[in-house]
Chain A
């Protein structure tokens, strides 16, 4: 007997179908942590509100602390009220909360895993989620190995499994390799989603649109026309009670290793042949591979002392709770990086990032070469500033182009003016939070905006090389007051090249 397959559905043609994932259960390890209440649950609520979650869906929170299902739901409800970008609607929440459970789990003990597996099985039957699982690891890297083993041991033949791993992914190249190896023992690369939430930001993705959807930028996006690139990832906040993590990580592992290097990669990458996960990640990897290890003179580190942020007196890093008195952890890094390839040879990428800086700002500034010969008499060179294309990643997401314009009146006075495209001005839909996009992508199996194992390892290789020479030099900390733009050595890094950081 032969069976005939149904022909393609002609009714689907022309419909703008929303991407809706398969039925699944989302398991959050580290459900008692800040990330879950401040980011994950509000993102899930916003997805539920927009009907983007699967029809059949459930959430299982897992953490060490004892908590009942009801207490977990109540705590998450408050978290959504406090942190979601959308107004709270009871009916949306009730629908989401009906599929929520909590499991107490000691990450070092496999008994909790049995309880979790039991709960997942129950929920599968109740919610019709077909054994599909997204495991979200909002836990330190040390806890991941055991959990991965336990999940692999209990993996059933039914449904798919995706593992979403939060940063930090390891603490150096060796540990990252070990973690990758551990994951690859039981899971395929396309089942692992290493999250870097910067890649989920609309403005970071807009960099790809800006570069590859506009004919005017790409021809000048190279060493011939660009003098240098400046990338700033600045936070005005301190370590917010996370001394335990930050003392180990410092700015280089917290920001440089992941967000900052990803921003460099997206700025410098070649056009991918398409927008599939591997095409985009192959191009980013090429950039990471072609980056020089900067010498000691090209890296500046700093640690904040007491100072004022937005008029409020704040403590120095060493006075923060949980920080060692003589801590040598850096809270600021600036570096001059080179992407050694045909497009970018000799074009420096100056990057800086840190805590307790003058203001919260993430920007990518493409500084073009000066006009070769200003024909205007009586115009000082400094009046003719080079064109800068500024990509504001946060806040005030948008793009500005600084151009020279004539000041109205007699003579020929030139002043720099900004042409602004403010994201919020042209598209008033409200930007989705990065976590909304990334959780949804993981459920859909789209890894384009996640970091692949080889990218992670390249990133760590660069960090390890920088950290290795820090062990040898002696530096006096603190070396910048809170509320400023970092140590003077960061300014000197650019001044030596006859350049300066963008003024604010």
Chain B
């Protein structure tokens, strides 16, 4: 449950990494009252979010719901390649009271202007916390061969995408599959199908010979569910998509499946679940390969 947040912030234009680190140290020192126990900086990871301006609002909203559950250093990278070269920073300490102490996470929002947006790894590397896992949440569909994408997946342990945000499905899944040998990938659209996959799994063995699935949901969820059934059952399963904003129902060979119990998770819950995982998800990878 959200508790009262204490936030201290510093903003600067055309900043250097050294300046950001100095300001972080100052904010950390100032975040506790004089004479009181110093606040704890707690980090379980470095979390990078690549959020082009059109995704910035959504990225901030998700982060707000998640920061408390995964205290981390968050680097929110907002590329603005069309502006003059430079890096602007907004550095915040976000502290939550726990007992008589406060736990602080750090959010560093960097606007990468001009050419600086083309070399994000060199900006991110000095700001990673040693020895902790690094996740990158890539908003929108990556431009697969772009230098910024290639660089960033080279420095992180896990790439998190949401294929619901992609315009050209299922074609992009084949390009995504090319990445599986380079970086561990997880997909929020896949996570959102988990309740439904559990439900479908509970229909075994009746579901064994299913040949057609009709999905009332997003294209991403539909392709992934169909790919999952094909890869797990080892047989062709045709897909019919009735596109909706969220997954609202499934029919198997014309018969509607019941609705899974419980409420669907919110965006922060889904991302949070992804951040708890570290290893490759072979089942997801096979489902992606079988999407078309």
Contact = CB atoms under 8 A, between A and B. Distances in A.
B205 A9 contact: yes
Contacts of B40: 420, 422, 425
Interface centre among B194, B204, B234, by most chain A C-beta atoms within 10 angstroms, is: B204
Interface string B167-211: 000000000000000000000000000100110110011011000
A29 B284 CA distance: 47
Range class of the A interface residue count: 20 to 34
B68 A9 contact: no
Nearest to A420: B40
B40 to A, nearest CB: 6
B283 A14 contact: yes
Interface in A375-429: 395-396, 420, 422, 424-429
B262 A15 contact: no
A9 B229 CA distance: 12
A426 B71 contact: yes
Nearest to B44: A426
A3 to B, nearest CB: 13
A12 interface: yes
A285 to B, nearest CB: 34
B36 interface: no
Given A11-B200, A15-B194, A428-B71, A422 B98 contact: yes
B283 A396 contact: no
Interface string B23-47: 0000000000000000010101000
Given A51-B261, A422-B101, A11 B44 contact: no
Interface in A419-473: 420, 422, 424-430
A426 B275 CA distance: 13
B36 to A, nearest CB: 14
Interface string A227-263: 0000000000000000000000000000000000000
Contact of B42 (A15, A17, A422): A422
A310 interface: no
Interface in B139-180: none
Interface string B224-237: 00001100111000
A498 interface: no
A391 to B, nearest CB: 16
A497 interface: no
Contact of B262 (A14, A17, A51): A51
Contacts of B228: 11
B69 interface: yes
B69 to A, nearest CB: 4
A13 interface: yes
A395 B99 contact: yes
A6 B44 CA distance: 43
Interface string B56-99: 00000000000011110000000000000000000000001011
B282 interface: yes
A372 interface: no
Interface centre among A7, A14, A396, A430, by most chain B C-beta atoms within 10 angstroms, is: A14
A10 interface: yes
Nearest to B197: A15
Given A15-B194, A428-B68, A429-B69, A9 B201 contact: yes
A42 to B, nearest CB: 16
A9 B284 contact: no
B204 A6 contact: yes
A7 B1 CA distance: 43
B69 A6 contact: no
Contacts of B98: 396, 422, 424-425
B105 to A, nearest CB: 9
Given A396-B99, A426-B42, A428-B69, A10 B198 contact: no
A87 to B, nearest CB: 8
Nearest to B102: A425
A10 B197 CA distance: 11
A11 B210 CA distance: 12
B272 to A, nearest CB: 9
A164 to B, nearest CB: 26
A6 B207 CA distance: 12
Given A9-B204, A425-B40, A430-B1, A17 B198 contact: yes
Interface in A6-38: 6-7, 9-17
A338 to B, nearest CB: 34
A15 B68 contact: no
Interface string B114-129: 0000000000000000
Contacts of A16: 194
A10 B234 CA distance: 10
Nearest to A16: B194
A425 B98 CA distance: 7
Given A425-B98, A429-B69, A11 B103 contact: no
Contacts of A424: 98-99, 103
A51 B261 CA distance: 8
Contact of A14 (B70, B96, B282): B282
Given A10-B232, A425-B40, A15 B261 contact: no
A15 B273 CA distance: 13
A422 B69 CA distance: 13
Nearest to B72: A426
Interface centre among A7, A427, A428, by most chain B C-beta atoms within 10 angstroms, is: A428
B39 to A, nearest CB: 10
A190 B231 CA distance: 40
B99 A15 contact: no
A12 B283 CA distance: 10
Interface of A: 6-7, 9-17, 51, 395-396, 420, 422, 424-430
13 contacts: A9-B201, A11-B197, A11-B200, A12-B204, A15-B194, A16-B194, A420-B40, A420-B101, A422-B40, A422-B42, A425-B103, A426-B44, A430-B1
Interface of B: 1, 40, 42, 44, 68-71, 96, 98-101, 103, 194, 197-198, 200-201, 204-205, 207-208, 228-229, 232-234, 261-262, 281-284
Given A12-B201, A51-B262, 18 more contacts: A7-B205, A9-B201, A10-B232, A10-B234, A14-B282, A14-B283, A15-B201, A51-B261, A395-B99, A396-B100, A420-B40, A422-B98, A422-B99, A425-B40, A425-B98, A425-B101, A425-B103, A426-B71
